Every structure is written in structure tokens, then in C-alpha cells.
Homo-oligomer: A and B are copies of this chain.
Amino acid sequence: MIKVSIPQGIEVNALDRELQEAHGRLKNKTGAGKEFTGWVTLPGDYDRDEFERIQNAARKIRGESDVLVVIGIGGSYLGPRAVIELIKSSFYNSLPRNNPEIYYVGNNLSGDYIKNIISIIGDRDFSVNVISKSGTTTEPAVAFRIFRRLLVGKYGADGAAGRIYATTDKARGTLKTLSDAMGYEAFAVPDDIGGRFSALSAVGLLPIATAGIDIQELMGGAAEMMDLCSHSATPENPAFAYAAARSLLYRGGNKIEVLAYWDPDFMFMAEWWKQLYGESEGKGGKGLYPASVSFTADLHSMGQYLQDGERVLIETMLIAGNCSHSGITVNNDPEDSDGLNFLAGKTVDEINTAALQGTFLAHTDGKLPVLTVDAGGKTARDIGRLIYFFEYACGLSGYMLEVNPFDQPGVEAYKKNMFALLGKPGYEAEGGMLRARL
């Protein structure tokens, strides 16, 4: 199970009443943004028929494609990528494996990026999972036009339709309409779950299953954490402890929360976490700024700042137990020219643990409040628990911050400007005014 430690002197019990109130709002769906709290019960009430269709689709993709192209942005990009890289490896595409390579497009507007993915696919067989609630978000819609054309060119209209999997609104919208017309297999982006809370819906599950990860285990872990949050709503519960500690530290004047991880495979889990907290809490002039560091690499980079820079930050160390069993050890060197023979016979992961403990103490001595979140391991079950843990803590924390943790009004501002500058019909007047300001 997940374990959380919080800095000495942080009295999470002081927030017990606030935690209970926030918990009640989540559980009873009475808080701001309540129409987007479907994720709270998802690990229990998800659609079992669709779940089986996801597993069948993953099997079909594995059988007929060398590459899966995942088209999505925001949670539709970060959720699946985070889970696949954490459980399988950030080198997933390069390692020997039985499952398709997976590439993510539609998450940026770089022509070089798209061109490179097309070049990497080459003449190999591929399928596409396009993930978009509406079907009109610019980045994924542009990418889908391009990759759909490639599929049709390669396999014909019918062949292409059999290789396109659409994760979209269950009833309406551009992509749903197109799926129905063309016969794409479709999965639902639930109406009551926003993008950053969607990793355990079809949004995340189809790519994750295609990578060969046991999604039953993933959901099982999430269900365990859901039970714990629903039945043990006390500051001893790790989600409550984490929510309370970071809330108190924010109220104490800190501005930044740095998520520190100890294996490069966690990079996209940190990106997913940044979206979850940044987009849920960063509104109304409030919120801890979520940042991340990759240790030990960044101990030789941002380490200086963390040890001795502005004291406006807190550090959350994200670890996964002593789960690494790579067996890579330091060999003895008869000449000991580098003086490392005191490490001979130790595994690299044991040294990593000592680095972690040493850093914990050094940063604490440097007046940096350090929390730890230990997932206990990095199996699918562990990561299912971890995802739900961070989600529930985010809901609690957002309500205690007195914001609506489930909307994202600020994301629209750049889009409107972009449409106007691109001459989208209906935006002509704004376009001229904006161009004058550039």
C-alpha cells in the first residue's frame, strides 16, 4: 500500500475538519465541479463490457500492427504514456518486446515531429487510437487528418477503418459521428470525467493494454485505494495526509512543489502529476506551482537550488519501494583506481537508496520541507493505487484551496487567439485586433 511521510512539525490533524468537508463533497458529489467527479467511483463502476472490448481491441492491434500511433493531448497523452513508461520502461520502443511500438502524436504542432514519426513507421503495419472528446481540438484533429490519410493510402478506406480506434464522446461530436459513419471501433470518454482524471478510463486503458500491461490489475489497485479513501477518511490515510500537508505548506508561504523521482522511467508520471495538480489548482491566482526533477541526474543540476536557493519550495519524493531487481551490481576492481571498491557487490539500486536517504537528510537540513510518497512497487496494481491516490488527494486539496478542481477555464484563452490569428470563420474581427498587438 502507499505510504506517505510528511515533514516534522506539520500537524495534519489541524485540517481534519476541512478534510472531512472536502471528502464529503467528493463522496456526495456536492462540491464545485461535481459533474466531473465520475472518477471517484470509476474503479468500482466502470463498464465491464467496454473493458472487455478494450482488451480484445488491444489483442487485435498487437496481432496486426508493428506500431500503434496514439493521438491525443493533455490527459489523453500524459495518462497512457505515464503508465506505459513507468511500468514498461522509457526505452519501451527500443527494447525487445512482443507488443507494438507506441508513438504519441497530436500533442504538439511541430512538423518535424510528425515527419519523424512517419519516417520511423516506414512501411510497417500500424494502427491508430485517436482520443478526443469532441474531435475538434486542433492538435489531435490535425494529426488525425494526416495519419488517417496515410492509413487510407496504405490500406484503402475499409482497411483503414479497421485500424482506427476512436476514444471519444459516447453519443455526440465530430469524432463520434465520423466513427459511426466509417465503422471505427469506438470507446467512451466518460461525460463525468475530465481529461486529467481519465487515465483509468478507455482513454488510458487501450494504449496501456496494447503495451501488454495487465489492466485488470491496474483497476484492481485503483479499487483498493478507492475503498481505502472511502472508508478511512482520516489524516492517517495517505491521500488525506498528502493533501493536508501540501495545503498547510502552501498556506505557510511556499509557492512551488517539486516532485523528485529516482528513476528516469518516472518522467511522464511526473508530467501527468503536473497536469493533475497544476490544472486543478492553478486558478484564481492560487496554487502551488508543480515542477519536477529527475534524480540523481538533477542533484548535479537543480540540486544546488533545492539545497540553498529561495526557500519557497517543498519537495515530494516519489518512490516505488525497493522494487528494482535488475541485479546490476558494482564489480570489484583489483586496482581500485577510482576508489569505489567499498561499493563492490552492492547493486546500483542499493546505492540509489542511499542517495535518496542522503538527499532526504541533506534537504531537510537545508530547510526544505520534504515529503515522501512511496508506491511500494511499480507493478500495474501499485500504479493503479498510485493514480487513484494522487487523484483523490488532488480533489481534497483543491476543495481545501476553495477552487473548482475540475474545470480549466484558463486553457481557452490561447485557443481563441490562435483561431483568430488563423482566420477561423467567426473570429475575423478579433484577428485584426490581435495582429495589431504583435
Contact = CB atoms under 8 A, between A and B. Distances in A.
A8 to B, nearest CB: 10
B300 A195 contact: yes
B324 A304 contact: no
Interface in A316-362: 324-328, 330-331, 333, 337-340, 342-343, 346-349, 351-352, 354-355, 357-362
A78 interface: yes
A284 to B, nearest CB: 7
Interface in A245-304: 255-256, 262-265, 271, 274-275, 278-279, 281-287, 289-291, 294-304
Given A310-B282, A337-B174, A358-B415, A109 B145 contact: no
B301 A109 contact: no
A324 B414 contact: no
Contact of A305 (B289, B339, B352, B366): B289
User: Among A177, A300, A330, which residue has the most Cβ atoms of chain B within 10 A?
Assistant: A300
B108 A294 contact: yes
What is the oligomeric copy number? 2
A421 interface: yes
Contacts of A352: 108-111
A418 B361 CA distance: 10
Contact of A417 (B74, B263, B359, B438): B359
A234 interface: no
A290 B313 CA distance: 12
User: Among A138, A333, A347, A348, which residue has the most Cβ atoms of chain B within 10 A?
Assistant: A348
Nearest to A280: B304
A120 interface: yes
A79 to B, nearest CB: 11
Contacts of A286: 309-310
Contact of A110 (B77, B262, B418): B262
A338 B136 contact: yes
A407 to B, nearest CB: 9
Contact of A265 (B74, B112, B313): B112
B308 A283 contact: yes
Contacts of A60: none
A230 interface: no
Contact of A414 (B117, B138, B264, B355): B355
Contacts of A291: 256, 289, 291
B283 A437 contact: no
A171 interface: no
A301 B289 contact: no
Contacts of A340: 136, 138, 141-142, 145
Interface in A20-66: none
A139 B255 contact: no
A303 B255 CA distance: 17
Nearest to A336: B174
A283 B309 contact: yes
Interface string A176-213: 01100000000000000001100000000000000000
Contacts of A10: none
Given A73-B296, A174-B337, A111 B422 contact: no
A343 B309 CA distance: 46
A232 interface: no
What are the 8 tightest A-B residue pairs by CB atom distance, in nearest-first order? A282-B305, A358-B417, A282-B309, A111-B326, A307-B410, A74-B300, A275-B301, A109-B352
13 contacts: A96-B119, A113-B265, A278-B302, A279-B302, A279-B303, A289-B305, A304-B409, A351-B418, A354-B421, A358-B421, A362-B416, A365-B413, A366-B413
